[in-house]
């Protein structure tokens, strides 16, 4: 729980040498400016989530919480199907979404065995395990003024928790609503794509736990190939609405290193239909900002200069 | 047809915890940088007229900046890590650009303020003071210009469409700076400076209506989602009347201290309201959600 986090962080670590207040203060000042040797780049990794085989078991949520030692969010009935996690947050890095698509007239009916369903009886559940999209050109990474958010050697978007100062720029920048600030420490947190496990050659906890292989982990190029084959297969099997979301760059957004196979509009799953990178507007905004200021300075200068005598 | 379900009706983005403090920060940032720049431009254009009032303006601008910085730091999730902002310089991060501009700007501003106060005590380093003023112009301008870009370069509903936020905020900073300088000169009994600044204030007030109008046009879709047509008209008319027409009338009507102070109070009040309304946009629920309350 949150209070446990405070207790644990207050405990002296056996590896910490004893320090006076002044040395602790100086250490705190200098620490963020120290740089280590950057690791060598490795092949880009990511997730491909096939929502057509997700069964909503939430094993990924549990595995993520367990491996990353994330505290409980408490339990609240959301009233939205089986989704009581509600959203991705600083303490929930996986979120299984449930979408019930049932027509009103058929909600009380039972399906008859051996009878082909008509169009109006075509009722279904959609389920999807949501996570950070690990965007190639990530707005959170661009916004971060401390350099806490980096692309690590696996090209995953990673927040260095010891550097983040909780300015919230990343929260404002993320078009997918992934990042939030932890109310205890005041820092931003999100999926690390199990960086620690990857460094040891293991797959992320959520992918390992997924019983239906809805969550695939691996080199992004291989995942894309695998996903495209699956879409073709689904088309052949009579699911023409299957498509990939985020596997390729659009005019307004980069490709995602965590992409999805969907069978309905992105907004139904709580994803933006057309994600837009806010940085595409930045230069124009700077130009307007500077123009607005220069116009005022010029007006002031002209009035003062002309009327000075 | 299947019932519309799922997450389509929910906002995808998360709202950053930027509340009233940020509205005050945006106001004080404009007041501090605007006062410095208005004083610097006036002093450099007509030294004989503006040196006395500029020497008072710099320490006032420094106090405003210190309060603004205190607000900025206290709004962080971990204020003790404020200095982490200075471990990198990222031109693509408006917050990083702003932090560096503010940090650099604080140095010449402090020097100009200190040298102005020393000059009052008879220890005059006029060349150094002028040098500090000149050196402060560029970072001061950057400090005023970054704020609007920071508040428009993001994914938040409303904010992401506010292409003229930066243009308005930077222009407004100069307007507020001119207004503050006008009050100081009127309080100090600097007749010629007051006469010139009164005209400059009127010109800037009219000029500022342009980026403000463009900003409102940018925000129309967001406002339409949040407020009824009547509410939009009321707020728009109120802002235009109290922020432009009343200050304009008061300044045109009479050059006396009371009228000037009244006009500037109206301007600052409305400037704060605009910033507050803007900051609140992502925090405000759409009409269809509120109607269920």
Looking at residue A106, what is its pLDDT?
55
Same domain, yes or no: A287 and A188: no
What's the rounded mean pLDDT across residues A166-190?
Answer: 95
Which pLDDT band, with edges at 50, 70 and 90, does B9 fall under? confident
For A34-38, A119-123, A272-276, which range has the lowest pLDDT when averaged over its residues?
A119-123
pLDDT at residue A50 is higher than 60: yes
pLDDT at residue A118 is higher than 90: no
Whether A174 contacts chain B with CB within 8 A: yes
Whether B208 contacts chain A with CB within 8 A: yes
Looking at residue B207, what is its pLDDT?
97
Whether B144 contacts chain A with CB within 8 A: yes
Asked if residue B268 is part of any domain, the answer here is yes
* Distance from C-alpha of B112 to C-alpha of B118, rounded to nearest angstrom: 10
- What does pLDDT average to over chain A? 90
What's the rounded mean pLDDT across residues A183-210?
Answer: 96
CB contact under 8 A, B165 and A285: yes
- Helices B165-187 & B191-226, crossing angle to 10 degrees? 150
Reduced to 3 states (helix: H, G, I; strand: E, B; else coil), residue A262 is strand
- Helices B191-226 & A282-307, crossing angle to 10 degrees? 150
Which pLDDT band, with edges at 50, 70 and 90, does B291 fall under? very low
Write out chain B residues lying below 8 Å of A33, CB-based. 87
Interface of A with B in 233-252 (CB under 8 A): none
Nearest CB among A168, A267, A289 relative to B148 is that of A289
Question: Tokens standing for B2?
Answer: 């299947």
Considering only CA atoms, give the Rg of chain B: 21
Which residues 6+ apart lie within 8 Å of B83 measured at CB? A29, A32
Instruction: Determine whether A291 is exposed, middle or buried from the number of CB atoms within 10 Å of its CB (0-12, 13-18, 19+).
Output: middle
CB atoms within 10 A of CB A57: 16
What's the rounded mean pLDDT across residues B173-195?
Answer: 97
Structural domain for A288, as ranges: 278-309
Which residues 6+ apart lie within 8 Å of B7 measured at CB? A97, A99, A267, A268, A269, A270
What's the rounded mean pLDDT across residues B249-275?
Answer: 94
CB–CB of B136/A261 below 8 Å? no
pLDDT at residue A270 is higher than 70: yes
Find the CATH number of the domain harbouring B244: 1.20.1630.10
First to last CA, chain B: 29
Which pLDDT band, with edges at 50, 70 and 90, does A8 fall under? low
CB contact under 8 A, B90 and A279: no
- What does pLDDT average to over chain B? 92
Same domain, yes or no: A307 and A220: no
What's the rounded mean pLDDT across residues B258-272?
Answer: 96
Look at the block and give the residue holding tokens 């509120």: B290
Reduced to 3 states (helix: H, G, I; strand: E, B; else coil), residue A144 is coil
Asked if residue A18 is part of any domain, the answer here is no
Whether B3 contacts chain A with CB within 8 A: yes
Which pLDDT band, with edges at 50, 70 and 90, does B117 fall under? very high
Asked if residue B72 is part of any domain, the answer here is yes
**ipTM beyond cut 0.85:** yes
Looking at residue A108, what is its pLDDT?
52
Which pLDDT band, with edges at 50, 70 and 90, does B136 fall under? very high
Three-class SS of A104-123:
HHHCCCCCCCCCCCCHHHCC
Percentage of chain A beyond pLDDT 70 is 88
The closest of B142, B107, B152, B111 to B128, measured between CA atoms, is B111
pLDDT at residue B165 is higher than 60: yes
Looking at residue A109, what is its pLDDT?
52
Same domain, yes or no: A266 and A175: yes
Structural domain for B217, as ranges: 20-284
Looking at residue A115, what is its pLDDT?
46
pLDDT at residue A157 is higher than 70: yes
Question: How many domains in chain A?
Answer: 2
Looking at residue A6, what is its pLDDT?
60
Whether A9 contacts chain B with CB within 8 A: no
Residue of chain B with shortest Cα separation from A167: B76
Strand partners, A50: A261
Asked if residue A2 is part of any domain, the answer here is no
* Distance from C-alpha of B169 to C-alpha of B173, rounded to nearest angstrom: 6
What's the rounded mean pLDDT across residues A293-304?
Answer: 97
* Distance from C-alpha of B171 to C-alpha of B145, rounded to nearest angstrom: 9
Looking at residue A309, what is its pLDDT?
76
Same domain, yes or no: A191 and A254: yes
Which run of H or of E encompasses A217?
A: strand A215-219
Find the CATH number of the domain harbouring A257: 3.30.70.20
Looking at residue B44, what is its pLDDT?
96
Whether B182 contacts chain A with CB within 8 A: no
| CB half-sphere exposure, A63, CA atoms < 13 A | 19
* Distance from C-alpha of A268 to C-alpha of A277, rounded to nearest angstrom: 21
More confident residue, B71 or A76: B71
Nearest CB among A181, A276, A292 relative to B77 is that of A181
Percentage of chain B beyond pLDDT 70 is 95
Looking at residue B227, what is its pLDDT?
84
Asked if residue B177 is part of any domain, the answer here is yes
Question: How many domains in chain B?
Answer: 1
Same domain, yes or no: A65 and A214: yes
pLDDT at residue A98 is higher than 90: yes
How near does any CA of chain A get to the CA of B215, in Å?
11
What's the rounded mean pLDDT across residues B45-65?
Answer: 97
CB atoms within 10 A of CB A122: 12
Question: Tokens standing for A258?
Answer: 């965590």
For A58-67, A68-77, B192-201, which range has the lowest pLDDT when averaged over its residues?
A68-77
Strand partners, A259: A48
CB atoms within 10 A of CB A195: 15
CB–CB of B208/B248 below 8 Å? no
* Distance from C-alpha of B70 to C-alpha of A172, rounded to nearest angstrom: 21
Same domain, yes or no: A147 and A293: no
pLDDT at residue B285 is higher than 80: no
CB–CB of B51/B181 below 8 Å? no
What's the rounded mean pLDDT across residues A78-88?
Answer: 91
Reduced to 3 states (helix: H, G, I; strand: E, B; else coil), residue A76 is coil
Same domain, yes or no: A151 and A291: no
Asked if residue B15 is part of any domain, the answer here is no
How near does any CA of chain A get to the CA of B65, in Å?
18
* Distance from C-alpha of A90 to C-alpha of A174, rounded to nearest angstrom: 14
Query: Would you give the DSSP letter of residue B293?
Result: -
What's the rounded mean pLDDT across residues B169-194?
Answer: 97
Write out chain A residues lying below 8 Å of B71, CB-based. none
Asked if residue B278 is part of any domain, the answer here is yes
Instruction: Determine whether A221 is exposed, middle or buried from the number of CB atoms within 10 Å of its CB (0-12, 13-18, 19+).
Output: exposed
The closest of A67, A63, A59, A61 to A85, measured between CA atoms, is A61
* Distance from C-alpha of A240 to C-alpha of A101, rounded to nearest angstrom: 18
Looking at residue A268, what is its pLDDT?
94
Looking at residue A105, what is its pLDDT?
62
Looking at residue A28, what is its pLDDT?
86
CB contact under 8 A, B88 and A305: no
Nearest CB among B3, B93, B163 relative to A104 is that of B3
Look at the block and give the residue holding tokens 């400059």: B200
Asked if residue A287 is part of any domain, the answer here is yes
Asked if residue B292 is part of any domain, the answer here is no
* Distance from C-alpha of A254 to C-alpha of A239, rounded to nearest angstrom: 27
Which residues 6+ apart lie within 8 Å of B14 measured at CB? A87, A171, A174, A177, A178, A179, A180
Same domain, yes or no: A161 and A290: no
Same domain, yes or no: A81 and A219: yes
Question: Tokens standing for A6?
Answer: 């405070």
pLDDT at residue A198 is higher than 80: yes
Same domain, yes or no: A73 and A215: yes
Asked if residue B69 is part of any domain, the answer here is yes
Instruction: For B195-235, write each residue's pLDDT tens digit.
Output: 999 999 999 999 999 999 999 999 998 888 888 889 888 98
Look at the block and give the residue holding tokens 């991705």: A88
pLDDT at residue A120 is higher than 70: no
More confident residue, A223 or A3: A223
What are the Cα distances from residue A40, in Å, to A35, A152, A156, B59?
A: 15, 9, 14, 51
What's the rounded mean pLDDT across residues B179-198?
Answer: 96
Looking at residue A119, what is its pLDDT?
46
Looking at residue B215, what is its pLDDT?
96
Q: What is the pTM of this model?
A: 0.90
Instruction: For B73-99, write each residue's pLDDT tens digit.
Output: 999 999 999 999 999 999 999 999 999
CB contact under 8 A, B153 and A186: no
CB contact under 8 A, B174 and A101: no
Instruction: For A253-263, write each residue's pLDDT tens digit.
Output: 999 999 999 99
């Amino acid at each position: 729980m949150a209070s446990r986090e405070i207790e644990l962080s207050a405990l002296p670590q056996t590896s910490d040498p004893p320090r006076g207040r002044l040395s602790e203060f100086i250490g705190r000042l200098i620490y963020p400016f120290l740089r280590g040797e950057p690791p060598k780049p490795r092949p880009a990794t990511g997730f491909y989530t096939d929502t057509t085989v997700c069964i909503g078991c939430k094993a990924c949520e549990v595995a993520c919480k367990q491996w990353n030692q994330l505290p409980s969010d408490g339990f609240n009935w959301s009233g939205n199907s089986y989704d009581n996690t509600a959203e991705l947050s600083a303490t929930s890095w996986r979120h299984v979404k449930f979408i019930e698509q049932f027509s009103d007239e058929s909600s009380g009916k039972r399906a008859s065995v051996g009878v082909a369903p008509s169009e109006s009886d075509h009722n279904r559940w959609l389920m999807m395990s949501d996570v950070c999209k690990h965007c190639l050109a990530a707005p959170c990474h661009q916004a971060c003024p401390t350099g806490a958010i980096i692309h690590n050697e696996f090209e995953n978007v990673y927040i260095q928790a010891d550097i983040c100062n909780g300015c919230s720029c990343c929260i404002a920048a993320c078009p997918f609503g992934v990042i939030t600030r932890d109310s205890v420490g005041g820092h931003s947190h999100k999926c690390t794509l199990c960086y620690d496990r990857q460094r040891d050659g293991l797959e992320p906890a959520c992918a390992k736990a997924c019983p239906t292989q809805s969550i695939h982990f691996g080199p992004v190029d291989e995942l894309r190939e695998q996903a495209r084959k699956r879409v073709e297969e689904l088309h052949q099997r009579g699911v023409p609405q299957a498509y990939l979301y985020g596997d390729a760059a659009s005019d307004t957004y980069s490709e995602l290193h965590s992409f999805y196979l969907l069978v309905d509009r992105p907004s139904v799953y709580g994803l933006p239909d057309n994600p837009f990178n806010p940085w595409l507007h930045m230069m124009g905004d700077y130009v307007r900002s500077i123009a607005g200021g220069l116009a005022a300075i010029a007006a002031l200068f002209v009035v003062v200069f002309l009327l000075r005598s | 047809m299947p019932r519309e379900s799922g997450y389509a009706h929910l906002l995808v983005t998360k709202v950053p915890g930027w509340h009233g403090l940020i509205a005050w920060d945006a106001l004080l940032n404009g007041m501090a940088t605007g006062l410095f720049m208005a004083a610097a431009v006036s002093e450099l254009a007509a030294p004989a007229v503006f040196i006395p009032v500029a020497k008072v303006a710099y320490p006032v601008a420094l106090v405003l900046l210190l309060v603004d910085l205190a607000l900025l730091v206290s709004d962080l999730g971990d204020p003790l890590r404020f200095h982490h902002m200075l471990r990198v310089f990222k031109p693509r991060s408006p917050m990083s650009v702003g932090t560096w501009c503010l940090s650099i700007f604080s140095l010449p501003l402090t020097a100009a303020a200190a040298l102005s106060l020393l000059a009052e005590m008879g220890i005059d380093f006029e060349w150094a003071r002028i040098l500090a003023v000149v050196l402060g112009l560029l970072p001061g301008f950057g400090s005023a210009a970054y704020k609007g870009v920071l508040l428009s370069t993001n994914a938040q509903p409303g904010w992401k469409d506010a292409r003229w936020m930066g243009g308005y905020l930077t222009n407004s900073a100069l307007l507020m700076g001119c207004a503050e300088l006008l009050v100081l000169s009127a309080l100090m009994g600097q007749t010629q400076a007051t006469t010139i600044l009164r005209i400059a204030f009127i010109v800037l007030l009219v000029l500022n209506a342009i980026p403000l109008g463009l900003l409102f046009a940018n925000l129309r879709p967001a406002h339409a989602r949040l407020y009824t047509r009547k509410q939009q008209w009321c707020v728009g008319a109120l802002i235009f009347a109290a922020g432009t027409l009343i200050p304009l009338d008061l300044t045109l009507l009479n050059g006396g201290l009371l009228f000037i102070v009244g006009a500037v109070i109206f301007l600052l009040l409305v400037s704060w309201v605009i910033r507050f309304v803007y900051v609140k946009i992502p925090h405000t629920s759409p009409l269809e959600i509120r109607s269920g309350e």
